[in-house]
Amino acid sequence: MTSENPSSRSQTGFFGESGGLGGSHAQFTEICTALYERELLALSHLSTNNASILKRRVGGLPYHVRSVARFMVTQSQSLFPLEVDTHNGSWYGKQPNKCPGLSQDNEKCVLWYMKNTDYGLVVPILVQSIEGLTIELDSIDMFRDSLSEIHLNKHGWFNIGQKQLTKTLASDDSHNDQVTDDPKKEGYSSPQLSKTTLTILKPTKPIMSSACCGHMWNYKTKASPRSLSMREMRLSTQINWKNFTLTPAS
C-alpha cells in the first residue's frame, strides 16, 4: 500500500499530528509507539538495495501508523468484533483449536467470489508451509471481465472459474512474489512438504478474526500468533464485518 502524499509528511511531531485524539490520548500514543517500533524493526530487515523504496516506506509510515491507531482507539466492538491489545498494537481474539478454512466448501467459495469480487475487497489467504498454517489478509486489485480470474495485491492470480483455489510458491520463501498455479493442488499440503501453498478462502467471521489476530497453528496444536505487517493492519481496518463485501448489508 502507498501513502497519501508521504513526501509532505515527516516524523517530526509524530504524536502531535493525531487529529482529534491528540498526543494526550494514552491508548493512541501506546498503540502508535508499538506499531512504529514493530514496523521499523521489519524495515531494518528488509532485503532491498533500492533506497527509493525504503525512503518511500519510511516516509509514509507516520500516516499509516496514525490511521491504524486512530481506528483501533475509536472503533466500537459492536462494529468490530475484536479486542485491542494496546501494548502490542494488535488485535486480540480467542484462537480456535484448529485453523478455520481447512474444510471449506470450494463450490460455495467460487460462487461467493463470482458474486462479490470488486476492486479493493479484503480477502483471506490460507498459507501453509513446513512451519505451520496461518491466514493472511490481502486485497483484490485486478480481475477479468468474466470474474473467473482475480488478482491479489500480494499473492497474485487465482483462477476462480476453474476452481483453482490453491497454488504453490515457486520457492520455499513464503514472501516470494513468484508463484506458480498448480491445477492439481486442490487439497492441502502434507506437513512433510517444504513448499508453501496458498489457498484463497471465502471470508467468514472465524476466518477473518484469525487473520486479523495473526493466529498460527502447527500440525498438532496452536502456536504463538504472528505480528501483522503494517499493510495487513491497514487492511484489517477496511473489513466490512456485516457481510465481508464492499456493499454493506441492508
By three-state DSSP, how is residue 108 classified? helix
Predicted confidence band of residue 180 (pLDDT cuts 50, 70, 90): very low
Q: 60-100, pLDDT tens digit by residue?
A: 899 999 999 999 999 887 789 999 999 999 999 999 999 99
The values of phi and psi at residue 159, to 5°, are -90, 90
Percent of the chain whose pLDDT exceeds 70: 79
The total number of structural domains that make up the chain: 2
Residue 47's pLDDT is 75
Q: Check whether residue 131 and residue 68 sit in a common domain.
A: no
181 has a pLDDT exceeding 60: no
| Nearest alpha carbon to residue 14 among 41, 44, 35 | 35
Q: Which three cell numbers stand for residue 181?
A: 498455479
Regarding whether 145 and 39 lie in a shared domain, the answer is: no
pTM of the entire structure? 0.80
Bridge-partner residues for 140, per DSSP?
Answer: 152
Residues of the domain holding 45: 24-74
93-114 mean pLDDT: 95
Has residue 249 got a pLDDT over 80? no
Which comes out higher in pLDDT, residue 51 or 85? 85
What pLDDT, in 10s, does the model give residues 201-213?
A: 999 999 999 999 9
- Residue 145: pLDDT above 90? no
Q: Both 208 and 97 in a single domain? A: yes
- Whether 56 and 146 map to the same domain: the answer is no
The three grid cell numbers given for residue 41, joined into one nine-digit string: 524493526
Same domain flag for 153 and 115: yes
Q: pLDDT tens digit string along 149-171?
A: 999 999 999 999 999 999 998 65
pLDDT, averaged across the chain: 83
Pairwise pLDDT comparison (42 vs 179), residue with the higher score: 42
Per-residue pLDDT tens digits for 210-228: 999 999 999 889 999 999 9
Q: Is it the case that residue 232 has pLDDT exceeding 80?
A: yes
Does 157 map to a domain?
yes
**Same domain membership, residue 221 and residue 133:** yes
Flag whether 129 is in a domain. yes
Residues 163 and 198 placed together within one structural domain of the fold? yes
Give 171-220 as a DSSP string.
Answer: SS-TT-S-EEE-TT--S---TT--S-EEEE----HHHHHHHHHT-EE-SS
- Residues 165 and 185: their CA atoms lie apart, in Å, by 8
In a domain, 17, yes or no: no
Same-domain pairing of 146 and 222: yes
Q: Per residue in 14-23, pLDDT tens?
A: 444 444 555 4
pLDDT at 178: 39
